[in-house]
Amino acid sequence: MTANAIEAHGLVKIFGRQRAVDGVDLTVPAGSIFGILGPNGAGKTTTLRMLLGIVDPDEGTRTLLGTDHPLDVAKRVGYLPEERGLYPSMKAYDAIAFMGALRGLPLAQGRRRGRAMLEEHGLGAAADKEVRTLSKGMAQTVQLLGTLVHDPELIVLDEPFSGLDAFNQGKLERLIRAQADRGVTVIFSTHVIAHAERLCERIAIIAGGKVPFTGSVSEARDKLRPQVRLETRTLDGPWRTALPHDAAPDGHFWQFTLPETGVEPLLRALIEGNAGIQSLSIERPGLHDAFVAIAGADAARLLDEEQQGPNYQGPEQQGPEQQGPKYQEKPDA
Amino acid sequence: MRELLRASWVIARRDFAAIIFSKAFFFFLLGPVFPLAIGVAAGSIGGQVARDIDRPRFALVMAAPDREAALSARAALAGQLGEARVPVLVATDAATPERLLDARQGTRFLGVLSGSLANPELIGTASEIERWQGPLGLLIERARDGASAAPVGLATRIVAQSSGSQQQARLMTAQVGQALLVLLTMLLAGMVLSNLVEEKTNKIIEILAAAVPIDAIFLGKLFAMLAMAMIGIACWAVLALGAITLAGNGLPALPPPATGWPLFLALGVAYFAMAYLLLGSLFLGIGAMATTVREVQTLSMPATMGQLLFFFLASFSVTRLGEPIELFAAIFPFSSPFAMLARAAQQEVIWPHLLALGWQFAWVLLLIRFGARLFRRNVLKSGGARKRGLIAGIFAKP
């Protein structure tokens, strides 16, 4: 296995007059969980499609598992596209086997594994059912299992959490972690900050086709100084001059960025000024704040709007699997 | 290449199973009953037209004065009775007139009118003599122009085979073979137009495109449809054989083709496969651009018109063996299978067929590459890859 599962330099993709991806650089270490975080239309899907060789970049280079011709290593890669798709008339286990066969797994072996995987994920009873009769969540699980059936070294997931209820989102998170524990590289795109924050060792923040940041979540958060939240007996007094210039009142609190000099000189000044400190907390900025700082307010607003839209709930609020709408039936051969 | 074939096999296997094990396949098998009836009707009309175009020709082997008189009489009779009712006379010199009926001489005479006006002789097969003895007897009397009061008898000499009758018989086989080939190709190749719509509406194309080359998708789909077509043809052939057996001698037998029946049938299958693959690969490329069934229906019309044009070209050239138009039809990829099948009915020589099959298959591969390239560029929006042009991209690694 190469040290980096994916390397991309200066990727550019132009659709008409729009530069959908504009000079993207990415390095995904082998065996890591890597997230591409950005709002819809930021260029996440196009970047992934270029990495996989579905579309060729107009400029730039990329290597996938050591080759610049991604289809040559297709057998070692699993891919879950954003727009899910299965043949409606196929049985669930057969759909998994077919996706494995596309990537070199013998059909008989794929069928055996398909049944076992469905059993393992609590869908054993659905193995012989046609995809068209499955609920949307079940169909998505079938497709995800089809992505994994051939034991890929690299898994590429495009918005894997979209459309999943909280229970299935939690299941998917556990599945991604399990794959990473086996040494598999996982790269996924998302517009949900919480997923990236919880799962990823490294992230790339993408907005407007550009990647202004790549690194660990911690490095992203370190882009901002910690925030201090101070509660005093009264909101004003002679000690007020000791507060930094960016201090802003928030109810009974003062909020400001932790000074470069640290908290001790400030504390000393507040005590000497008899400020009557009730409480003081120093909070490290979250990834959302880092995203605002790195990608800009417009991208952050888009991201916020998208996160409020879907039925996202944190994995702590998991409930039993809901029977969603049936998998949308489309004309089959 | 091995990977390409493996991936094609995966696609073909899925498509084939999806089609064959669907309820719709049964209705597909019933489908040709109606167009077959239309085809038979069209074939008989075509045959009539061909008979009109390819008029009966007799060699005229007589001394100069008698020859001139016979030709004048023929012109006069044609003026009175109509061109189609009087056989064409071609003045010819030959020491042994019956040799003019040898197919190997390259002549296409139904018979020979020889001797003299006083003592004429008609040489030909029994059926041709029976058919043309009357009109030619009338022509001789007209040429004699009352030289004697009593009419002379037209002596006859029967030969086993005449070049013209053999040629006409083979022409019929060629036309029937060609019509059947066109009918089957039109019926089956058009289905390829809608082939990729399913993948696009079901969003599966993204999964396929990420796993295997587009060429493999095209190749697999094409061969799955070909296999399905072959199964359909086998079913229809069995039904047709059953019908013929039931009809007993009630159906007219086709004259044997020049290459013999076994080879002609084998070539028929091979040319069908090539015609199917050629049109199929073209339609797959065009149809891949369609995103809805409505668009496919819109595209069907020009596609069908194209098919008809190829057929007309091949059909027009069937009576013009060796002429530039026939050579063009044999070389032009889309009419080549039809023109070459007509050749197989009329000429014994084999090697041009091997050459033609190779040529046609090369075009199939080229069209698949072109279609795949077009698909990547227009559907997957994988356009300006390294600024390669469409044509240059055909030869790039898939």
Tell me the two tokens of residue A125: 């009873």
Among the ranges given (A97-101, A325-329, B94-98, B389-393), the one the predictor scored with the smallest mean pLDDT: A325-329
Chain segment A106-139, per-residue pLDDT in tens: 999 999 999 999 999 889 999 999 999 998 888 9
Query: What percentage of chain A has pLDDT greater than the value 70?
Result: 91
The mean pLDDT value of chain B amounts to 79
The total domain count for chain A is 2
How many pairs of residues across A and B have Cβ atoms under 8 Å apart?
Answer: 90
Tell me, yes or no, whether A303 lies in a domain: no
What CA–CA distance (Å, rounded) separates A263 from A269? 10
> Domain check: are B202 and B275 in the same one?
yes
What CA–CA distance (Å, rounded) separates A292 from A39? 12
> Domain check: are A120 and A176 in the same one?
yes
What CA–CA distance (Å, rounded) separates B159 from B284? 53
Task: Name the residue among A58, A69, A102 with its Cβ closest to that of B211.
Answer: A102
Q: Report yes or no: B384 at the A interface, CB cutoff 8 Å.
A: yes
Q: Residue B90 pairs with which residues in a beta bridge?
A: B59
- pLDDT of A273: 86
Tell me, yes or no, whether B105 lies in a domain: yes
Which residue on chain B is closest to A88 by alpha carbon?
Answer: B202
> Domain check: are B108 and B221 in the same one?
no
Band of pLDDT at residue A329, cut at 50, 70 and 90: very low
A270-276, long-range: CB < 8 A, 24+ apart? A270/A230, A270/A232, A270/A239, A270/A242, A272/A239, A273/A237, A273/A238, A273/A239, A273/A242, A274/A237, A274/A239, A275/A232, A275/A233, A275/A237, A275/A239, A275/A242, A276/A232, A276/A233, A276/A234
Chain segment A55-114, per-residue pLDDT in tens: 889 999 999 999 999 999 999 999 999 888 888 889 999 999 999 999 999 999 999 999
Among residues B257, B249, B99, B235, the alpha carbon closest in space to that of B172 is found at B257
What CA–CA distance (Å, rounded) separates A301 from A303? 5
Tell me, yes or no, whether A301 lies in a domain: no
> Domain check: are B187 and B310 in the same one?
yes
> Domain check: are B338 and B213 in the same one?
yes
> Domain check: are A149 and A174 in the same one?
yes
Q: What range does the domain containing A90 cover?
A: 4-221+311-317
CATH number for the domain spanning A210: value is: 3.40.50.300
Tell me, yes or no, whether B364 lies in a domain: yes
Tell me, yes or no, whether A127 lies in a domain: yes
Q: Report yes or no: A54 at the B interface, CB cutoff 8 Å.
A: yes
Whether B385 sits inside 8 A of A52 (CB atoms) is no
> Domain check: are A76 and A139 in the same one?
yes
Tell me, yes or no, whether A330 lies in a domain: no
Band of pLDDT at residue A318, cut at 50, 70 and 90: very low
Q: Report yes or no: B380 at the A interface, CB cutoff 8 Å.
A: yes
> Domain check: are A237 and A123 in the same one?
no
Beta carbons within 8 Å of A104's beta carbon, 6+ residues apart: A74, A75, A150, B6
Tell me, yes or no, whether A288 lies in a domain: no
- Range ranked top by mean pLDDT from A113-127, B27-41, B66-80, B231-245: A113-127
Q: What range does the domain containing B271 cover?
A: 2-30+166-394
Higher pLDDT, A322 or A293: A293
Whether A55 sits inside 8 A of B380 (CB atoms) is yes
> Domain check: are A121 and A67 in the same one?
yes
Tell me the two tokens of residue B288: 């891949």
Find the angle CA(A185)-CA(A188)-CA(A189) to the nearest 5 degrees.
160
Beta carbons within 8 Å of A160's beta carbon, 6+ residues apart: A80, A144, A172, A176, A188, A190
Please, where are the H alpha helices in A63-152?
A: 92-102, 107-120, 136-148
Q: Report yes or no: B228 at the A interface, CB cutoff 8 Å.
A: no
What CA–CA distance (Å, rounded) separates B207 from B12? 16
What integer is the mean pLDDT of A196-214? Answer: 90
> Domain check: are A197 and A234 in the same one?
no
Q: Report yes or no: B18 at the A interface, CB cutoff 8 Å.
A: yes
Higher pLDDT, B306 or A78: A78
Query: Which of B131, B161, B191 delimits the end of a domain?
Result: B161
Residue type, A320: P
Query: Which of B138, B161, B184 delimits the end of a domain?
Result: B161
Chain segment B247-280, per-residue pLDDT in tens: 665 445 667 787 888 888 888 889 999 988 888 8
What integer is the mean pLDDT of B144-164? Answer: 67
Task: Name the residue among B18, B207, B382 with its Cβ closest to that of A333.
Answer: B18
> Domain check: are A75 and A93 in the same one?
yes
Q: Report yes or no: B7 at the A interface, CB cutoff 8 Å.
A: yes
Tell me the two tokens of residue A194: 């919480």
**Angle in degrees, 0-180, between the axes of helices B33-53 and B163-189, rounded to the nearest 10:** 150
The total domain count for chain B is 2
Tell me, yes or no, whether B152 lies in a domain: yes
Q: Report yes or no: B153 at the A interface, CB cutoff 8 Å.
A: no
What integer is the mean pLDDT of B353-363? Answer: 93
Tell me, yes or no, whether A293 lies in a domain: no
Whether A56 sits inside 8 A of B211 (CB atoms) is no
Straight-line distance from the first to the last Cα atom of chain A, in angstroms, rounded to the nearest whole number: 40
> Domain check: are A213 and A236 in the same one?
no
> Domain check: are A214 and A232 in the same one?
no
> Domain check: are A51 and A162 in the same one?
yes
Whether B398 sits inside 8 A of A71 (CB atoms) is yes
Task: Name the residue among A58, A69, A81 with its Cβ closest to that of B384.
Answer: A58
Identify the residue among A15, A55, A69 best suited for mutation to test binding to B, counting B beta carbons within 10 A and taking the highest.
A55
Backbone angles phi, psi at A27, to 5 degrees: -135, 120
Residues from chain A contacting residue B293 (CB–CB below 8 Å) = 331
What CA–CA distance (Å, rounded) separates B381 from B398? 15
> Domain check: are B207 and B135 in the same one?
no
Tell me, yes or no, whether B176 lies in a domain: yes
What integer is the mean pLDDT of B171-175? Answer: 78
Tell me, yes or no, whether A195 lies in a domain: yes
Query: What percentage of chain A has pLDDT greater than the value 90?
Result: 42
> Domain check: are B275 and B372 in the same one?
yes
Tell me, yes or no, whether B40 lies in a domain: no
Beta carbons within 8 Å of B269's beta carbon, 6+ residues apart: none
Whether B211 sits inside 8 A of A74 (CB atoms) is yes
Whether A69 sits inside 8 A of B384 (CB atoms) is no
Coil, strand or helix: which one is A138?
A: helix
Residue A320 has pLDDT above 50, yes or no: no
Whether B7 sits inside 8 A of A79 (CB atoms) is no
Task: Name the residue among A81, A104, A332 with its Cβ closest to that of B198.
Answer: A332
Higher pLDDT, B236 or B50: B236
What CA–CA distance (Å, rounded) separates B316 from B49? 11
Tell me, yes or no, whether B226 lies in a domain: yes
Tell me, yes or no, whether B385 lies in a domain: yes
Band of pLDDT at residue A311, cut at 50, 70 and 90: very low
Residues from chain A contacting residue B203 (CB–CB below 8 Å) = 81, 83-85
Identify the residue among A52, A102, A155, A156 best suited for mutation to test binding to B, counting B beta carbons within 10 A and taking the highest.
A102
- pLDDT of A296: 78
Q: Say if CB A104 and CB B10 are below 8 A apart.
A: no
> Domain check: are B7 and B59 in the same one?
no
Backbone angles phi, psi at B323, to 5 degrees: -80, 160
> Domain check: are B143 and B178 in the same one?
no
Q: Report yes or no: A224 at the B interface, CB cutoff 8 Å.
A: no
Q: What is the 3-class SS of chain B, one letter each residue?
A: CHHHHHHHHHHHHHHHHHHHCCCHHHHHHHCCHHHHHHHHHHHHHHHHHHHHHCCCEEEEECCHHHHHHHHHHHHHHHHHHCHHHCCEEEECCCCCHHHHHCHHHCCCCCEEEEECCCCEEEEECHHHHHHHHHHHHHHHHHHHCCCCCCCCCCEEEECCCCHHHHHHHHHHHHHHHHHHHHHHHHHHHHHHHHCCHHHHHCCCHHHHHHHCCHHHHHHHHHHHHHHHHHHHHHHHHHHHHHHHHHHHHHCCCCCCCCCCHHHHHHHHHHHHHHHHHHHHHHHHHHHCCCCCHHHHHHHHHHHHHHHHHHHHHHHHHHHCCCCHHHHHHHHCCCCHHHHHHHHHHHCCCCHHHHHHHHHHHHHHHHHHHHHHHHHHHHCCCCCCHHHCCHHHHHCCCC
* pTM summary value: 0.71
Chain A residues 21-50 within an 8 A CB cutoff of chain B? 49
Residue B124 has pLDDT above 70, yes or no: yes
Tell me, yes or no, whether B119 lies in a domain: yes
Residue type, B108: R
Whether A84 sits inside 8 A of B293 (CB atoms) is no
Instruction: Provide the ipTM.
Output: 0.79
Q: What's the gap in Å between the CA of B34 and the closest CA on chain A? A: 23
Q: Report yes or no: A178 at the B interface, CB cutoff 8 Å.
A: no
Band of pLDDT at residue A25, cut at 50, 70 and 90: very high
What CA–CA distance (Å, rounded) separates A232 from B386? 64
Task: Name the residue among B205, B213, B382 with its Cβ closest to that of A71.
Answer: B213
Tell me, yes or no, whether A91 lies in a domain: yes
Band of pLDDT at residue B323, cut at 50, 70 and 90: confident
> Domain check: are A53 and A108 in the same one?
yes
Which residue on chain B is closest to A106 by alpha carbon?
Answer: B10
Residue B383 has pLDDT above 70, yes or no: no
Query: Which of B161, B181, B200 delimits the end of a domain?
Result: B161
- pLDDT of B193: 73
> Domain check: are A58 and A120 in the same one?
yes
> Domain check: are B185 and B333 in the same one?
yes
Whether A87 sits inside 8 A of B204 (CB atoms) is yes
Higher pLDDT, A62 or B32: A62
Among residues A97, A94, A190, the alpha carbon closest in space to that of A149 is found at A97
Chain segment B71-98, per-residue pLDDT in tens: 998 888 888 888 777 888 888 887 777 7
Strands A185-190, A33-37: pairing kind: parallel
> Domain check: are B261 and B137 in the same one?
no
> Domain check: are B197 and B334 in the same one?
yes
> Domain check: are B151 and B170 in the same one?
no
Chain segment B193-215, per-residue pLDDT in tens: 777 777 777 778 889 989 999 88
- pLDDT of B289: 75
Residues from chain A contacting residue B204 (CB–CB below 8 Å) = 85-87
How many CB atoms within 10 Å of residue B140?
A: 23
Among the ranges given (A284-288, A315-319, B308-312), the one the predictor scored with the smallest mean pLDDT: A315-319
